[in-house]
Structure 1
Amino acid sequence: MYKNISSIMGSAMVSRFVNIGIAKRISCVLVVVLLVANALNYIDSGLNPCRGLLKNGILLDKEQGVWQPHGCMMHKYKTKYPMDSYSCLQNKKLAFVGDSRMRELMFSFVHAINPDAKTPEGKIHSNVPIKEDKISLSFYWVPELNETATNLLGNWGESSDDRPDIIFQSAGAHTLKKNGSLEDIYEQYTKNFTSILKEMQYLVKEHRTKIFWIMQEPVEESKLIPLRRLITNQRINQYNEAVKGLLTEKDSENRIQVIESFKWISYELIELSEDGLHLPPQALKIESSILLNLLCNNNLHPIDGTCCQSSPNVTAIQIVVFLLGLSCIVGAITMTYLKWRILKHPPPDIELGDVAQNGSVVESAEKLLPNDTKEIAATKKTKENTKFDDTLELIIALSKFTIIMMYFYICDRTNIFMKGNKHFTNARFFLPLLYISLLGLFGIISTSQTALLNRDQTDEWKGWMQLIILIYHMSGASVNVPIYMHIRILVAMYLFMTGYGHFSYFWHKGDYSLYRVLNVVFRINLLTVSLCLVMDRSYQFYYFVPLCTFWFVILYISMTIWPRANIKMQTATTNGTIPAEPSSNGPEKDYPLRNFNLRSPYSIMFFKLVMLFLVISVLFVSQSYFEAIFSWWPAIRLFELPTGSVREWWFRCQLDRYAMLHGAVLCFIYIIMKKLSVLDDSKQGCLLSTKASFITMTLSIGIVVTYTVWAAQCTDKFTCNRIHSYASILPITAFIIIRNVPGYLRSGYSAFFAWFGKISLELFIGQYHIWLAADTKGMLVLISPEWPTLNLVITSFIFVCIAHEINLITGILTKHALGSPKDEVMKVLIRLAVFVSSVCAISFINNTFNPPTFGGT
């Protein structure tokens, strides 16, 4: 007994200091500290969004030449593609000034724009002009910083005919290979660079020419020919330090930007060089990509290219939302202060004041009142206090929600926090998958619920699916078609549960009230709609919520239209009339299945499901037909992406068009089987007989293995997606059978996965901006990119805490927005109308000041 008591006390002590509340407080402190640190670092960089791209980075893959800049994302530019590098560099003049290494860099840059472009071959020690469409590129053979270099820059300053818009310059290797005193060479180099710097500054100041000085890259000394043996990395470092010192001293306004990242790329890849001096193709390819990101990102604003891209302009709608949220924060602070003052200094308990006579209080007026009047006054006071507390609860919830939305905006719409590209490898996907699987297995506990797909089991189901989807997005595994096809099954499973859960509710409860519909729609859409306003994204961008909402509404309409059918319907009257709706007066009777006829709820529901199948099939019979239906206002405003097109909505819907219906049908079959006593889930034992269990389990395992083998062999997403639309029914059904038929599997669940399943919606939507970055195209970096594992742990910890808090806030806001189920329909409609009108008004303001552009980018 004493051991049990000590165990209970120990668990209580642990839960007191290790719980989600403590975790949220820690996450708040982390957010504040990291925000201040990153903001100071960003200010220290001069608010330069190019700093990470130009300064340094990490080589992630030497074979493929994958480079990760420090704290920003590189966009992979396509060649001759509308709105890509060609449109960015149209009518621009680019000059590459330097030695043979600069010449090869320019040729690589030309091929990055157009792989079919022809460039001269061999050793060319002269100027090379290249005209590529409307882009002028020129290489100027100036291997040393001497009078030639000074005159070239001076001529550009005087004449506008050949003056380039952008100049990339570097020199040093040819100077270093000369014999002589190192001190004399160093002194002359410094002197020449000082004179050239003046010409550069004049071009930048007077003619707005962009000039980039490329630091000298290291060499592979063991491969150098004897003529170049004096070009050592030690000397190169001395020259680079000299340039940095002169720029710091004489270019305080940072007119000349320095590219240091090429130096670090060369350190990683110079060993692949053939002669030890010139860079290998892998390095030149990375450097060309860096130059494209440097020149084009801020003009084209690619989603997955945050390097050198300034923060987007704040829209009118974002300003309005911010002001509304700020007013909530001020109101919450004010009301909290007032409540604190009242509790600390409570007013005297006098309702009508004291009766004063001759300047002195003789007796409280309250004491003179009858007892009934006192009770009425006390009740009134209690209601006022309750109303005040309810208002305070609402304002505090809105304030917390505002602060969370501000964090979303700072993470993904500013350059304060860093971002990183995704790079898929099998290890990046399967190792985290192994970790969470082990954690889930260690968290298995028994459950008291015995029903098929009970609440504990569905929470667990949603939890492990959501964690796998997070790993899938984090690792960039969408490039792997077999993994992609398995993730498609998980999305179909979510929609399956939408159909199964809501069908079960409507059938057993018979609740088709407007309150029920609005409650579901409001809860699943609150975060998404808020992010649409705050992050300036369309509703369809968060595709999963529109899918769940759409299929829920379809199911609701199909079940609520006359004649309705549910388990609470009373038996038909003796005169053969249609069964009445569930009555709130008197006992309700379950309709016996033996009376199955055309007017029974079971037959009505059967025909409804058949009709729903036909409607869905007709709706998706043609893509043009589908798009025509959803291209009318206001549907197009909900489902367009990009602006003016609903093609993305067609793609998302048709992938899993039968998943919701599958859930509803399977729930209906399960209800009938229970009614016929084919299966019994009232106990923890096996659902079916031994023979039936063996057959169904064997078939189910075979189906799962077959689907896995088929998905592993998929190479074409388009073809496999077409098969998936129909084939997904089989593995989902097989999984349910495997998970539920054996009693020992149905009697336990993973509490670890179930905890995440309860906040799965918030995790799915929140990952877009505060775990991933650049609208899921990259990863959020809160600390140094050099510690990716620690960064993943910290971002995940903060992300989960915020998702849990949003889940609680959503419940509070839903309660206040819709009121109680007992409220009159008119009150609910008025509240809904106020909410919708507010959103429409904000959208109108946004469209007035920021009109939408059709066609998208």
Structure 2
Amino acid sequence: MVRFFSRSYFTPAVVDRISAAFICITLLGVALRYCWFDARDPFKCGAILNEGEWLDYPLENSTIVPENWQPPGCMMHKYISDDVSTCLANRRVLFIGDASIRQVFWSVAKALDPKANPATAEKHVDITVEKSDVKLEFVWDPWLNSSRLHNELSSYNDGKVQDVSGNPPALFLMGSGLWYARHENMNGLKMWKDSIDDVVQHMRKGRRTTDMTESDLLLIAPVIVPAWNKLNDDRKATITPQEIRAMNQYLQQLSDFQGVDVIWSWHEMIKNLPQVYESSGIHLVDSIAEKQAEALLNLRCNAVTATKYPYDQTCCNRYRAPNHVQWIGLLFILGLLPAILYMRSKDEKTGIKSIAQAAWLPSDDVAWALLVFGLAVVYCFYADRTQVFNKAHKQYFTSDFLWGIVLSLAAGLFTLRKNSETNPDQPFLNRLQTDEWKGWMQFAILIYHYTGASKITVIYGFIRVTIAAYLFMTGYEHTLYFLNQKDYSLKRAASVLVRLNLLSCVLPFMMGTNYLFYYFAPLCSYWFLVVFTTMRVGEQYNSNTKFLAAKIVLAAILSATLTHFPGVLEAIFRLVGFLARTEWDVNEWRFRVSLDMWIVFVGMAVAIAVNKNKENSFASMQGWVSAKKFATIASTIGLVLYLLFEATRDDKYEYNAYHPYISVIPILSFITLRNSTPQLRNTHSKVFSWLGRCSLEAFTLQYHIWMAADTKGLLGLGAFGLTERTSNFVLATILFLYVSHRVAGATVTLSRWVLGIPRRSNMSQQQQPGLPTSRGPGLDDDDDEPEEMNDEVAGSSRRRSGEESKSRSRAKTLSEEAPSGYWGNLKYRMTAILVIIWFLSLVSSF
């Protein structure tokens, strides 16, 4: 048994095949759930109409009113005035019924017009609220027998308006019951049924579909179940549980057998929760009435207002059909690429060359990388731009966040290893250490996003420091590279920018977002260009420390001026918007850059200091040991003082004001303590290092295949009908991490291809990042990578171990030679790529 799990059996190929099998089975389960369990409700209209649960369901005997309502498999959107006006432009909404209907009417009115005040209107009268060509009407009719009701219903047949010339209601809601129970003691139930029957004859008969997207709605509200212990004696004597139960059972029969649309989710919102009622025991607290109004608006409006990202209103919504660019991408990835690879595999067996062997097509390793990369993008599309996958709201629990941190920390500590057996003393901030640093920070960022911990100031501040630390490494690593290699070529700049931006440039076309939405890659790219320009200007004098320091100060001043001077960024963004027909949020970009305005320059300064230490061997000088002790003590004190300061901020907005100036304290303190002893410096965590090498891909892909609704919610697989949040989390996490790992490997290969860097002709297909089913590298292996791609900011693959050569595949890949002619010129090549991106941006905007 032990031998079976030894490394000779548990090879990278086995890991890949097991992972591929797991992915296929899980995705098969997702398809089964969508095609079988969700077949009656593919657009999740029935979900918001009939079911749901409180994610923050209060403990027993608690007085807390829940706030986070979750329909099964989809997300609700909180509607504001502009949303309601867009959805109901030049339309009217009609409410007819008793006090419970009136309360929902006022909640919708306040969503349309925040100034709407129920106190200004009498109770038992008709009410009208108008704003922005939207008209909301409430008709007081607790018996559901008024002439106004009959006149409105007369134009309906089978739930549809026959004559639309009279501006029929976009949403028509009716409800009653309590007045019959309260005032008709003898035949109240029968009289109520007669009134309901008069209404139902105009509603649709026989549920053929739950699709209510973009259609006018005719709905009945269930009879509200009072909080029995809060009713006064008079009401207790007349309103009985038996009668209310009988009324709702009758509505349930009409709903089940005749297809009458009853909004049963309202019933679920108040079940067994006496704290959601006011003292009368009949009227609900405002927050619950607002949530009921939200359900109504989501049911009617989501398909109308969800026209661009973030797509956080997924209930009762048809996602937009793919545009031309998306269709081309889907056909290329799911059709053309597999066909080419299949034909090549067949050619290898028969020895006959087909068109798939044409010289102008990409080589095998590039084709496999394209397929891996493309399948990940397609996964993003189907996960977050269709109803195939479920979406759920986030709900923060401190225990969830702590468990995530504890489990991640345990995995990291369990996989602690020495950096090298042959070289026991590694340098300051060595490669394995920085990979580990990126990895554990990425774990923290992922847990923070998934659990929705942004409202907790202490956690928010910690995560802000991790982002600053990534940017610190941007300044540090690139400055150190330029000082040592003195390579300021276009090839160097292009290799870094392509590696950083490949995924974040492709995703906007498939997901309907924009480049700055995936802010981390643009942010790293911007600061790389700042570092590159700073080091490139006057690079022949970079050996002069004073000159370098002066350049860094000047670059900091110019960057701050560019960011904060009014009108500069606005003009740049307007120009980009005009040329590429895209919308970049200048305020969001200014916020992102400003938060970490100085830390990159600190990283540059540390790199210069480390380089000077290497040149002058300060460590051998007298007083170095004392200086190290002092730095260790100062770092410990600095870290404690920072944590105390951060914990005492009132909210994250107050913290943001200090962050650009104090983030340097925990970062410098950490790297000092992390390198304070040889044991700490020469040990790393394999799990953290592994994630650090694909952290750029993980940071970007989390938007769509771990979370959902463009990070507003969580992705739910619901494989084989499983809906429990823990099982969804486990399955989605495994898929997400593995896809991130494979995409990181594929991105290295594609970056070489884009830049025209040839592969070694003696490398087998096994040595290239390929499909999970290929005999590619396992989780512990590294990617063979040229020097010019060896230190990208958010994680890149590392050199292969010699062990991989033992399991080469039978067939050699096509040797890839450096392109010749105009296409071989990097300037022309990069210009052509930018033109293609510009053209796709124009086409996607139509």
Specify the TM-score bucket, using the shorter chain as the normaliser.
0.7 to 0.9
1:720 and 2:624 aligned: no
1:795 and 2:761 aligned: no
Distance 1:319 1:723 in 2: 47
What does 1:129-278 align with in structure 2 at a 5 Å threshold?
129-131=128-130, 134-144=133-143, 151-154=150-153, 164-176=169-181, 190=193, 192-201=195-204, 209-224=216-231, 225-229=233-237, 231-233=239-241, 235-251=243-259, 257-273=261-277, 274-278=279-283
Secondary structure, aligned partner of 1:733: helix
Distance 1:8 1:422 in 2: 41
1:664 and 2:664 aligned: no
Q: Which residue of 1 aligns with 2:406?
A: 434
Q: Aligned-pair distance for 1:326?
A: 4.1
Match of 1:819 among 752, 757, 771: 757
Q: Which residue identity lines up with residue 750 of structure 2 in the other structure?
A: L
Q: Which residue identity lines up with residue 415 of structure 1 in the other structure?
A: Q
Q: Which residue of 1 aligns with 2:777?
A: none
Distance 2:416 2:12 in 1: 22
Q: Deviations over 1:752-802 (max 9, x none)?
A: 211111111111000011111111111111127952222111111111111
Distance 2:819 2:538 in 1: 23
Q: Which residue of 2 aligns with 1:804?
A: 741
Q: Which residue of 1 aligns with 2:91?
A: 92
TM-score, normalization: structure 1? Answer: 0.79
User: Larger deviation: 547-556 or 7-16?
Assistant: 7-16
Q: Which residue of 1 aligns with 2:103?
A: 104
Q: Which residue of 2 aligns with 1:620?
A: 560
Secondary structure, aligned partner of 1:258: coil
What does 1:25-174 align with in structure 2 at a 5 Å threshold?
25-45=21-41, 47-61=42-56, 62=58, 63-66=64-67, 67-78=69-80, 80=81, 83-120=82-119, 124-131=123-130, 134-144=133-143, 151-154=150-153, 164-174=169-179
What does 1:377-776 align with in structure 2 at a 5 Å threshold?
391-448=363-420, 450-564=426-540, 602-603=543-544, 606-621=546-561, 623=563, 625=565, 627-628=567-568, 631-632=571-572, 636=576, 643=583, 646-679=586-619, 689-715=624-650, 717-776=652-711
1:329 and 2:301 aligned: no
Q: Aligned-pair distance for 1:743?
A: 1.9
Q: Which residue of 2 aligns with 1:299?
A: 304
Distance 2:138 2:665 in 1: 62
CA shift in 2, pair 1:768/1:688, >3 Å: farther
What does 1:276-291 align with in structure 2 at a 5 Å threshold?
276-291=281-296
Q: Deviations over 1:675-698 (max 9, x none)?
A: 3222279xxxxx985433321111
CA shift in 2, pair 1:826/1:428, >3 Å: farther
Listed as ranges, the gaps of 5+ residues in structure 1 are 348-380, 566-600, 682-686, 852-857
Distance 2:704 2:578 in 1: 21
8 Å contact 1:640–1:649 — kept in the other structure? no
Q: Which residue of 2 aligns with 1:840?
A: 835
Q: Which residue identity lines up with residue 688 of structure 2 in the other structure?
A: F
Secondary structure, aligned partner of 2:531: helix
Q: Deviations over 1:337-372 (max 9, x none)?
A: 423532xxx57xxxxxxxxxxxxxxxxxxxxxxxxx
CA shift in 2, pair 1:638/1:437, >3 Å: farther
Distance 1:276 1:629 in 2: 56
8 Å contact 1:77–1:85 — kept in the other structure? yes
CA shift in 2, pair 1:266/1:741, >3 Å: same
The aligned length equals: 756
Q: Which residue of 1 aligns with 2:712?
A: 777
CA shift in 2, pair 1:769/1:385, >3 Å: closer
Q: Aligned-pair distance for 1:323?
A: 3.5
8 Å contact 1:328–1:395 — kept in the other structure? no
8 Å contact 1:177–1:228 — kept in the other structure? no
Distance 2:346 2:435 in 1: 41
8 Å contact 1:540–1:546 — kept in the other structure? yes
Distance 1:44 1:333 in 2: 38
8 Å contact 2:180–2:189 — kept in the other structure? no
Q: Which residue identity lines up with residue 22 of structure 1 in the other structure?
A: I
CA shift in 2, pair 1:709/1:120, >3 Å: closer
Secondary structure, aligned partner of 1:26: helix
Q: Aligned-pair distance for 1:107?
A: 2.8
Q: Which residue of 2 aligns with 1:582?
A: none
Q: Deviations over 1:44-65 (max 9, x none)?
A: 21x3343322222121334253
Greater relative contact order structure (CA < 8 Å, 6+ sep)? 2
Q: Aligned-pair distance for 1:445?
A: 1.9
8 Å contact 2:822–2:828 — kept in the other structure? no
User: Larger deviation: 491-500 or 659-668?
Assistant: 659-668
Distance 2:574 2:708 in 1: 30
CA shift in 2, pair 1:482/1:828, >3 Å: farther
User: Larger deviation: 762-771 or 22-31?
Assistant: 22-31
Q: Deviations over 1:232-259 (max 9, x none)?
A: 55554543343343345444xxxx6431
CA shift in 2, pair 1:834/1:133, >3 Å: closer
Secondary structure, aligned partner of 1:44: coil
Secondary structure, aligned partner of 2:75: coil
User: Larger deviation: 303-312 or 842-851?
Assistant: 842-851
CA-atom RMSD in angstroms: 3.8
Distance 1:464 1:560 in 2: 32
Q: Which residue identity lines up with residue 33 of structure 1 in the other structure?
A: G
Q: Aligned-pair distance for 1:741?
A: 1.7
Distance 1:21 1:623 in 2: 49
Secondary structure, aligned partner of 2:561: coil
User: Larger deviation: 842-851 or 470-479?
Assistant: 842-851
Distance 2:527 2:534 in 1: 11
Distance 1:623 1:517 in 2: 23
Secondary structure, aligned partner of 1:168: strand
Match of 1:311 among 319, 325, 335: 319
Q: Deviations over 1:646-699 (max 9, x none)?
A: 332222222222222222221221121233222279xxxxx9854333211110
User: Larger deviation: 746-755 or 241-250?
Assistant: 241-250
Distance 1:209 1:563 in 2: 68
